[in-house]
Amino acid sequence: MSVLKVIEVLASSKVSWEDAATKAVAHANKSLRGIRSVYVQDMSATVEKGKIKEYRCNCKITFELE
Report the CATH number at residue 37: 3.30.1660.10
- Of the chain, the percentage scoring pLDDT greater than 70 comes to 100
Which residue range forms the structural domain that includes residue 38? 3-65
* Distant-in-sequence, close-in-space partners of 50: CB < 8 Å, separation ≥ 6: none
- Which residues touch 19 (CB under 8 Å, ≥6 apart)? 13, 55
| Rounded Cα–Cα distance for residues 66 and 61 (Å) | 16
What is the per-residue pLDDT for 1? 84
Please write the tens of the pLDDT for every residue from 2-19: 899 999 999 999 999 999
> What would the pLDDT profile of 34-66 be if each residue is shown by its tens digit?
999 999 999 999 999 999 999 999 999 999 998
Total number of domains in the chain: 1
DSSP type of residue 30: T
CB atoms within 10 A of CB 12: 17
- The one-character DSSP state at 62 is E
- This prediction has a pTM of 0.87
Mean confidence (pLDDT) of the chain = 96
